[in-house]
Amino acid sequence: MEPLYRRQRDYFARMYEAGGPTPWPSTEPTPSVARVSGLLKRRVRGGRALDLGCGEGRHTLLFAKAGFSTVGLDYLLAPLKTVATRARRAGLARRITLLIGDALMPPIKPESFDVLVDYGCFHHVKKADWPNYLDAVLGILKRGGYFHLSVFSTKFKHYPGERRSRNWNVHRNHYDRFFVRRDFARIFGDRCEILAIEEEHKGLEGFFHVLMRKAEIPRSVSSPLRGEGQVEGEKRVTRRTSS
């Protein structure tokens, strides 16, 4: 694992080990994800769902409650233990499997899932690694399967008055990418149909929630982004912060 990603994993580990509230919600599902689980419950009865970077499992539990056989994947053990406890208490343990692993190399067979949820994982993946993410993550989704993605928008602020001159930064040892609406067609459009894009902006929070459907036949076999390379600024910051 490269140094920035190692520090990023340590950052997440510290957030969970601190025992206090995490900077993202811990228990209540985000309304947009809850709406999508309600919609997909009717469309994909009894399917398999994967919560990628599941954290403490608020959406893992949500999809299990909606009747999906659900896998929560995270690269940290501490939050997975919390999910296991919550699943037992909610009587959902038999519908939930927990996996420890890296979202960029998921230990999962191709085309295993009907539904994939990523709330807050992709926006921590550097642009140079998007082709890996697309291959890994879309690879485990069935053709025609649904993919719900929640990422920071450019309106997201870490603190009041934060100013940025570009759409990514390294903040407290983790990489953040901030998206605009047209990014999704460019990044996912060759492999997925984009069904809906919802923008949420309240206070410092700024998110896009994007519902996509994996194409039956991809427009191109390998990612259109592969080989595009890293933007120069990202290289500079990665080097500076990885010593």
Ligand X SMILES: C[S@@+](CC[C@H](N)C(=O)[O-])C[C@H]1O[C@@H](n2cnc3c(N)ncnc32)[C@H](O)[C@@H]1O
Between 104 and 195, CB nearer to ligand X: 104
Q: Which of 47, 79 has the CB closer to ligand X?
A: 79
- Least Cβ distance, residue 51 to ligand X (angstroms): 7
The greatest distance separating any two alpha carbons of the chain, rounded to the nearest whole angstrom, comes to 50
Closest approach of ligand X to the CB of residue 23, in Å = 7
**Tokens standing for residue 224:** 């259109």
Task: Please tell me the distance from the alpha carbon of residue 187 to that of residue 28, in angstroms, as a whole number.
Answer: 29
When the beta carbons of 20 and 46 are compared against ligand X, the nearer one is 20
Q: Which residue ranges make up the site for ligand X (CB under 6 A)?
A: 12, 24, 53-55, 58-59, 74-76, 79, 102-104, 119-121, 124
Q: CA 149, 92, 20, 170: dihedral to nearest 10 degrees?
A: -20
- d(CA 58, CA 90) in angstroms, rounded, equals 12
Q: Least CB distance from residue 219 to ligand X, whole Å?
A: 26
Sheet of 96-100: strands edge to edge? 96-100, 69-74, 48-52, 113-119, 141-152, 205-214, 192-202
In angstroms, what is the minimal distance from the CB of 122 to ligand X?
A: 9
Nearer to ligand X, 189 or 199 (CB): 199
DSSP letter at 95 equals G
Q: Shortest approach of ligand X to residue 111 CB, angstroms?
A: 20
DSSP 92: -
Instruction: Select 135 or 218, whichever has its Cβ closest to ligand X.
Output: 135
